[in-house]
Chain A
Amino acid sequence: MPMIEMSSVNKWYDDFQVLKDCSTQVAKGEVVVVCGPSGSGKSTLIKTVNGLEPFQEGTITVDEISVGDPATDLPRLRARIGMVFQNFELFPHLSIMENIKLAQLKVLNRTDDESAKRGMELLDRVGLVDQADKFPAQLSGGQQQRVAIARGLAMDPIAMLFDEPTSALDPEMINEVLDVMTALAEDGMTMMVVTHEMGFARRVAHRVIFMDEGRIEEDCTKDDFFGTARGERAQEFLSKILTH
């Protein structure tokens, strides 16, 4: 049974169709990179997985729970799926540690000690123990994004979603975030990653999904994607971003 399964997902903003008949799946422990030109719907696609973006047709299940079913307790499902955003989205009024503790306390009902302990473990893992008492705006972008990853992991998620996690970063900070993500993948985390980092895709991904104009145009193994099996649009996209 795949961890994430989408079948024939369609989504419209009024008359404009942003997702067209999207079907794919992510197995447990699999790392899937989603790429494509801007406006292709990849960010929207990943946000439908935990129900941040509603969709009108099709089904999405995560760990066999239907996301689109009105009877589903979405907050409860979301608590089991970590998500990392392009702009980090740490809460500015809370310290780094408070950011990591918040959902552990209020959603998982862990004690303050438990949450702080788990928080410290994860800060250690992303190399930011000494920043625990600082506030988000006092950290660099790369550091903030590593905190955001730690914040997601603190919930002990069954899968992690990354929505362009390095797009807002200065070049020299991209690697520190990708390193954390690579380590996470090596630990067997199920990951769906929207990114333009083709180096990361080449090294870490098991599969690559290429989207264009709301459609999943390619959905194949990494080797096929970077080999010759890809279609014309993907070819064109790759040649553009690999030679920029």
Chain B
Amino acid sequence: MNYNWDWSVLFCFVEDPVSSCTQPFFYWIVSGFGWTISVAAAAWVIAFSLGSVIGVLRTVENPYLRGFATVYVTIFRNIPLLVQMFLWFFVFPELLPDEAGKWVKRGMPLPEFWTAVVCLGTYTASRVGEQVRAGIEAITQGQRYAAMAMGLRPVQVYRYILLPVSYRIIIPPLTSDFLGVFKNSSLALTIGVLELTAQTRQIEEYTFQGFEAFTAATLLYIVVTAIVMAVMRVVEGRVVIPGMISLGAK
């Protein structure tokens, strides 16, 4: 392979026309990393809160609420994420009334960023919703009866019994979904968010040092996901229910 390795492009802090630093590439990576974290964090807020609501609705008695949640999961889980990204960005604004459509496209601040956040958030919510539902359904009917028998109202049964236990049960798959939202944020580049992967590609185009640039991005993704996994393992240990068997990840 005839390739001239040049790791120095990753450490270009200022423009320096005499070297290969035609641009401050280091800060491009920093900026891209920042956007990646921002998209993922904001999308996770939506995914977790909306997903919890969807998951709860999937288990309630009211057939309309349950039906709504089922339709939601079916739609958002079954359309490829990339297609959803395009639908949100190109199609959704056209379906709105004129003024609102214009605002979504140009008026609101950071349209690409927020579109990506909403898209990733609503998609991941369908997955979180299924985890929450599975967690709630893993709790025996007897627990529900006991909670009801002492006079708790349905909302209280969920708030104090079903959700606290179910979140503990589903920490491992929830961690996977959090990692998923972080990695999937790279698709935001397709609608113009200059996140980590987009910046990496841009560095390749400017320098032809694609291996170095993608190595940097890969390492950053892995470092963050490894940190998340470590943190979640600690969380899992903290909230473990005393006396209940939990082997946990070693």
- The one of A75, A82, A148 in contact with B153, judged by C-beta atoms closer than 8 angstroms, is A75
Contacts of A50 in B (CB 8 A): 149
Given the known interface contacts A75-B152, A81-B149, the answer about A106 and B241 at a Cβ–Cβ threshold of 8 Å is: no
Q: Does A203 contact B (CB under 8 A)?
A: no
Majority SS at the chain B contact face: helix
User: Which residues between 85 and 127 of chain A lie within 8 Å of chain B, taking CB atoms?
Assistant: 85-87, 89-93, 102-103, 106-107
Scoring B residues 150 to 186 as 1 if CB is less than 8 Å from chain A, else 0, what string do you get? 1111001000110011001000000000000000000
Contacts of B242 in A (CB 8 A): 134-135, 137-138
Contacts of A136 in B (CB 8 A): 243
Band of interface residues on A: 20 to 34
Q: Does A36 contact B (CB under 8 A)?
A: no
- The one of A76, A86, A93, A135 in contact with B151, judged by C-beta atoms closer than 8 angstroms, is A76
Scoring B residues 28 to 68 as 1 if CB is less than 8 Å from chain A, else 0, what string do you get? 00000000000000000000000000000000000000000
Scoring A residues 137 to 177 as 1 if CB is less than 8 Å from chain B, else 0, what string do you get? 11000000000100110010000000000000000000000
Q: Does B143 contact A (CB under 8 A)?
A: yes
User: Which residues between 103 and 158 of chain B lie within 8 Å of chain A, taking CB atoms?
Assistant: 140, 142-143, 145-153, 156
Q: Does A241 contact B (CB under 8 A)?
A: no
On whether the beta carbons of A92 and B150 are closer than 8 Å, the reply is: no
Q: Does A67 contact B (CB under 8 A)?
A: no
Which A residue's beta carbon lies closest to that of B244?
A137
Q: Does A79 contact B (CB under 8 A)?
A: yes
Docked CA distance A52–B161 (Å): 17
Q: Does A230 contact B (CB under 8 A)?
A: no
Which A residue's beta carbon lies closest to that of B150?
A103
Least CB distance from B99 to A in Å reads 46
Q: Does A28 contact B (CB under 8 A)?
A: no
On whether the beta carbons of B149 and A78 are closer than 8 Å, the reply is: yes
Contacts of A80 in B (CB 8 A): 151
Contacts of A76 in B (CB 8 A): 151
- The one of A78, A87, A135, A138 in contact with B150, judged by C-beta atoms closer than 8 angstroms, is A78
Given the known interface contacts A79-B150, A102-B160, A103-B152, the answer about A87 and B142 at a Cβ–Cβ threshold of 8 Å is: yes
Q: Does A18 contact B (CB under 8 A)?
A: no
Given the known interface contacts A135-B241, A135-B243, A136-B243, the answer about A89 and B151 at a Cβ–Cβ threshold of 8 Å is: no
Q: Does A83 contact B (CB under 8 A)?
A: yes
On whether the beta carbons of A85 and B145 are closer than 8 Å, the reply is: yes
Contacts of A92 in B (CB 8 A): 165, 241, 243-244
Q: Does A47 contact B (CB under 8 A)?
A: yes
- Which interface residue of A50, A82, A86, A89 has the most chain B CB atoms within 10 A? A89
- The one of B149, B152, B165, B244 in contact with A52, judged by C-beta atoms closer than 8 angstroms, is B149
Contacts of A152 in B (CB 8 A): 150
Least CB distance from A160 to B in Å reads 11
Docked CA distance A155–B244 (Å): 27
Contact sample, A vs B, 29 pairs, CB 8 Å cutoff: A50-B149, A52-B145, A75-B148, A75-B152, A78-B149, A79-B150, A80-B151, A82-B149, A83-B150, A85-B145, A87-B142, A89-B143, A89-B145, A91-B143, A91-B160, A93-B165, A93-B168, A102-B150, A106-B156, A106-B160, A107-B150, A107-B152, A134-B242, A135-B241, A135-B242, A135-B243, A136-B243, A155-B150, A155-B151
List 4 tightest A-B contacts by C-beta distance, closest first.
A79-B151, A137-B243, A89-B146, A103-B150
Apart from the given pairs A52-B148, A89-B142, A89-B143, 6 other A-B contacts in the complex at a CB distance below 8 Å? A91-B147, A106-B152, A106-B156, A107-B151, A107-B156, A155-B151
**Residues of A in contact with B (beta carbons under 8 Å apart):** 47, 50, 52, 75-76, 78-83, 85-87, 89-93, 102-103, 106-107, 134-138, 148, 151-152, 155
